[in-house]
Amino acid sequence: MADMPYGFVAEFASEDAIVHAARLVRQAGYRNIDAFTPFPLPRLARVMRLRDSRPAWLGLAGGIFGFLLAFGMQAFVSYAYPLNVGGRPLYPLSAYAVVIFELTILFAVLFLFVGLLALNRLPRLNYPIFNAPRFHLASKDRFFLCIKAEDRQFDRENTARLLRDLGAISIALVRS
Amino acid sequence: MTASATDILPTDQSIGDVSSQLTGIPLHFPARRQWWIAMAVAIALLALFIVSVVELFTRGVGIWGLNVPVTWAFAIHNYVWWLGIGHAGTLISALLLLTGSEWRNSLNRFAETMTLFAVVCAGIYPVIHLGRPWYLYWMFPYPATMDVWPQFRSPLEWDIWAVLTYLSVSVLFWYTGLIPDLANARDRARRRGWQVFFGILALGWRGSTIHWHRWSRTYRIMAAIAVPLVVSVHSEISLLFAASQLPGWHSTLFPPYFVLGAAFSGFAVVSVIAVALRAMFDLKNLVTRKHLDVLGKVLLATGLMTGYGYVFEVVDALYSGNPHDLQTLLNRTTGAYAWLYWGAVFFNFVPLQLLWWRQVRRTGWALLLISVSVIIGMWLERYMILVTTLYRDFLVSSWSHYTPTFWDWSTYVGTIGLFLVPFLLAIRFIPVISIFETEKTLLDEQETRDG
C-alpha cells in the first residue's frame, strides 16, 4: 500500500515518562513498537522485552577464530621453514602465546564491530523515522516512542488517542 | 543549586545545554585563534619530521647516533615512550567503564583520541629505523619465492602484531563509542557540508532501543578485552628487552615495570590535555576541579607504583649478586649517564609528591606543571634503561658511548608534530567529550538530587 504510513511517533520529556508510556502501550496489546533515546536505557529495553545476546556469541566466535588462526599460522611457518636456533623447540606454546593472544583479541573485536553494524542493519543513512518533524531531538534530550503501522492493533484514531492520554508532548504520523 | 559532595558535574545544567555546548565545538568553533596558533606550531613540527625522514631514507640510519654496542637508541626509546603514553587512553576508557567510574565520561573521548595518535607515533619508529623500510612486508607471513618465512619465536616479530592489533582495536573501540555522538552532531548541524560529513560518519544511527541494547553489550565486551590487551602490548614490548640476556634488562620485573610506567606517563599526558582543553573550550562545567582532583590522585598512585619498580630494580640486582648486574647498577647511578638516572628519579617522583595536597590537585596549572615533569621524567627513564645497559655490556673491549645527533633530535621532535596535527584536527571536527555518556551521568546525578 503506497499510502500506508510508517507509524505514530510520540515525544516524551523524561526517562520515566517514556518507560511508563512503553509499559502501558505494551499492556494495551501493541507489539510492533520501537523507542528512540539519546543514550542507552536498560530499563526501557526490559519493559519492551528486548534482548539480544548475539553480540557476546559473536565476540566469542571471533576470539576462537583468531586463536586458531594465530596458532595455525605460526605452526605452519615453523613447519614450512624450520629454523633451528640453538636447538629450541619448533612448536613452543610459550613463544607463540603473544601472537595468539593478540589475534584472539583482534578478531573478537572485529567480529563484534562488524556484528554490531550487521545486527543493527547499519549503515543505513535514511530511515522513515527521520521524517518525523521533531525527531532531531532524539539525539539531544527527548525520548520518542513509535507505534508502527504494521502492528495488528494500529488504528489512526485509537492509537493517537492512547499516545495523547499517555502525556506525549507531541504526536506525529510519520510517512514511510 | 550547588553540587553535592558526590556529584562530579554541576547539576544546574540541563542535558540539552550539554548537548548544544559539545556539538557546538565542531559546528561553531569557539577558539579559532588559539587553534590556528597551535596548528601552525604543529605543522612546523610535522614538516621537520618529514624532512628528517626524507634525510633518513636518503642517507640511511647512519645519520643517527647509533653505534655498536648502542644499537638501539632513540628509535626504540621513543617508540616505548609514545606507546606507553597511548595506554592511558585505553585504561581510562575501558577499565573505568567496567568499574563504573562515572568521572571517566568527561575524559574518555579525548584520552582515546590521544591513544590513537600516540600509537601512530610509536608505530612509525620501528618502521623508519628498519634501515630499508620498504621491506616492512617481510614481517608478514606470505608465500615468498625464496621460501623464507618470518621467525615467530622472536619478540621482534611479536612486536608488529602487538602494535597493529592495538592500533586496530583502539580505532574500533573509539569509533564504536563515537557513533552516537556523530549522530547528535548530525542532528544539530545546520550547514549542508556538516550535515553530509556527520551524516555519513554516523552511519544513520537513530538511537533505537534495540540498537542501544546491542551497542551497550558490544561496547562493554570490547572494553573488557581491551584492558588485558593494554597489559599484553606493553608487556610484550618489555620482552624485547627482558628476553635478551643483557644485565639491567634480563629481569622478570620488566613487564609490570613497563606497564605501570606506561600508565603513569599516559595519565600525565591526559592531565595536560584535560587542563588545556578545559581552558581552550571553556569546559569548566564538564571537566571540573573534581576531575582534576581524581586525575591527580591516579597520577600519584601510578607514580608510586612506578617508584616501586625503581626500588625493586635495585633490590633485584643486589639480591642476584651477579657481578654484571651490579656493574650495570653502578653504571646507572654513578656512570657517564648518571644524570639520566637521577634526572628520571627527580622529574618522576619529586614534584609528584605535591599531589598529596588536595589544593594542588585541584589547581589546573599546578597539575599541568607536575604532569609535564612526569612526561620528561618518563622520557629520561626510557632513555636511561636503554643506554645505560647497552653502552657497557659484558666485554670491556666493546664499551662505548652514545650521543644523539641532530637528526635523532629532529626526528623525535618531529613526531610531536605527527601527534599534534591529527589530534588538533580531531578536536576541531569531532565532539571532544562523549556527549551521551555525559548526559547520562548528569541525569543520574539530578535524579539522586531530586530523590
Contact present, B389 and B247 (Cβ < 8 Å): yes
Question: Which of A39, A43, A100 to mutate to probe the B interface, most B CBs <10 Å?
Answer: A39
Q: Measure the CA–CA gap between B94 and B100, rounded to whole angstroms.
A: 10
Residue B2 has pLDDT above 50, yes or no: no
What per-residue confidence (pLDDT) applies to B5? 55
User: Angle between the B406-429 and B74-90 helix axes, to the nearest 10 degrees?
Assistant: 20
Q: Measure the CA–CA gap between A174 and B234, rounded to whole angstroms.
A: 53
Q: Which helix (H) or strand (E) holds B204?
A: none
What per-residue confidence (pLDDT) applies to A103? 96
CB contact under 8 A, B439 and A50: no
Which of these, B395, B429, B318, B416, lies nearest to B46 by C-alpha position?
Answer: B416
Residue B3 has pLDDT above 70, yes or no: no
Q: Which pairs with CB-CB distance under 8 Å and at least 24 residues apart come from A20-25?
A: A20/A166, A21/A145, A21/A163, A21/A166, A21/A167, A21/A168, A22/A47, A22/A48, A22/A145, A23/A47, A24/A162, A24/A166, A25/A145, A25/A147, A25/A162, A25/A163, A25/A166
- Hey, what's the cell of A100? 595468539
ipTM computed for the complex: 0.94
B114: CATH: 1.20.1630.10
Contact present, B392 and B327 (Cβ < 8 Å): yes
A64-103 tens-digit pLDDT: 999 999 999 999 999 999 988 888 899 999 899 999 999 9
CB contact under 8 A, A34 and B184: no
Residue B9 has pLDDT above 80, yes or no: yes
Q: Measure the CA–CA gap between B163 and A14, rounded to whole angstroms.
A: 44
Q: Which of residues 189 through 228 in chain B touch A, CB cutoff 8 A? A: 199-200, 203-218, 221-222, 225-226, 228
Q: Please tell me which residue, B444 or B164, carries the higher pLDDT value.
A: B164
What per-residue confidence (pLDDT) applies to B103? 87
B175: CB partners within 8 A, 6+ apart: A113
Q: Which helix (H) or strand (E) holds B172?
A: helix B155-188
- The answer to whether residue B299 sits within a structural domain is yes
What per-residue confidence (pLDDT) applies to B272? 95
User: Angle between the B289-320 and B323-334 helix axes, to the nearest 10 degrees?
Assistant: 130
- The answer to whether residue B450 sits within a structural domain is no
B380: CB partners within 8 A, 6+ apart: B340, B343, B344, B347
pLDDT band of residue B431 (cuts 50, 70, 90) is very high
Q: Measure the CA–CA gap between A58 and A73, rounded to whole angstroms.
A: 22
Residue B313 has pLDDT above 60, yes or no: yes
User: Rounded to the nearest 5 degrees, what angle is found at the Cα of B36, between the Cα atoms of B31 and B40?
Assistant: 155
HSE (side-chain half, CA atoms, 13 Å) at B29: 17
Residue B184 has pLDDT above 80, yes or no: yes
Q: Which domain holds residue B260?
A: 14-444
Which residues on A lie below 8 Å from B218 (Cβ)? 55, 59, 112-113, 115-116
List B208's β-bridge partners, or say none: A36
Residue A2 has pLDDT above 60, yes or no: no
Q: Please tell me which residue, B371 or B104, carries the higher pLDDT value.
A: B371
Percent of chain B with pLDDT over 90: 69
Closest Cβ opposite residue A123 in set B165, B204, B207:
B204
Could you tell me how far CA B39 lies from the centroid of its own chain? 20
Which residues on B lie below 8 Å from A113 (Cβ)? 172, 175-176, 218, 222
Q: Which pairs with CB-CB distance under 8 Å and at least 24 residues apart come from B70-73?
A: B70/B386, B70/B387, B70/B390, B70/B391, B70/B400, B70/B401, B70/B402, B71/B390, B72/B386, B72/B390, B73/B386, B73/B387, B73/B390, B73/B402, B73/B404, B73/B408
Q: Which of residues 115 through 154 in chain B touch A, CB cutoff 8 A? A: 141, 147-153
Question: Which of B212, B436, B444 to mutate to probe the A interface, most A CBs <10 Å?
Answer: B212
Q: What is the mean pLDDT of chain B?
A: 91
- Cα dihedral B92, B95, B97, B98 in deg (nearest 10): -170
Q: Measure the CA–CA gap between B104 and B434, rounded to whole angstroms.
A: 10
A87: left (phi over 0), alpha (psi -120 to 50) or beta: left
When divided into structural domains, chain B yields a total of 1
A102-114 tens-digit pLDDT: 999 999 999 999 9
CB contact under 8 A, A77 and B141: yes
Q: Boundaries of CATH 3.30.70 in chain A?
A: 5-53+128-175
Q: Which amino acid is at B71?
A: T
Percent of chain B with pLDDT over 70: 98
A16-65 tens-digit pLDDT: 999 999 999 999 989 999 999 999 999 999 999 998 999 999 999 999 99
Alpha helices in chain A (DSSP H): 15-27, 42-47, 54-80, 93-119, 156-165
Q: Measure the CA–CA gap between B39 and B422, rounded to whole angstroms.
A: 10
Cα–Cα distances (Å) from A139 to B17, B107, B408, in that order, read 13, 20, 48
Residue B451 has pLDDT above 80, yes or no: no
Mean pLDDT of B149-170: 91
What per-residue confidence (pLDDT) applies to B6? 66
CB contact under 8 A, A35 and B209: yes
From the options 3.40.50, 3.30.200, 3.40.30, 3.30.70, give the CATH code of A5-53+128-175.
3.30.70
| Radius of gyration for chain A, computed over Cα atoms and rounded to the nearest angstrom | 25
B329-348 tens-digit pLDDT: 999 999 999 999 999 999 99
Q: Which helix (H) or strand (E) holds B242?
A: helix B209-242
Contact present, A40 and A170 (Cβ < 8 Å): no
What per-residue confidence (pLDDT) applies to B332? 93
Which of these, B385, B70, B429, B399, lies nearest to B248 by C-alpha position?
Answer: B385
pTM for the complete prediction?
Answer: 0.93
What per-residue confidence (pLDDT) applies to B238? 92
Q: Which helix (H) or strand (E) holds B340?
A: helix B338-349
Residue B1 has pLDDT above 60, yes or no: no
The b-or-e profile of B179-209 (16+ CB within 10 A means b, else e) is bbbbbbbbbbbeeeebeebbbebbbbbbbbb
Which residues on B lie below 8 Å from A129 (Cβ)? 206
A158-172 tens-digit pLDDT: 899 999 999 889 999
pLDDT band of residue A1 (cuts 50, 70, 90) is very low
* Whether A111 contacts chain B with CB within 8 A: no
Question: Which of A49, A52, A102, A142 to mutate to probe the B interface, most B CBs <10 Å?
Answer: A102
Which of these, B173, B194, B182, B56, lies nearest to B115 by C-alpha position?
Answer: B173
CB contact under 8 A, A52 and B153: no
Measured in residues, chain A has a length of: 176
Mean pLDDT of B406-420: 96
- The answer to whether residue B177 sits within a structural domain is yes
B241-281 tens-digit pLDDT: 998 888 889 888 999 999 999 999 999 999 999 999 999 99
Alpha helices in B28-73 (DSSP H): 32-59
Which residues on A lie below 8 Å from B222 (Cβ)? 109, 112-113
CB contact under 8 A, A120 and B211: yes
B86-122 tens-digit pLDDT: 998 898 889 888 888 888 888 999 999 999 999 999 9
Q: Which of residues 342 through 371 in chain B touch A, CB cutoff 8 A? A: none
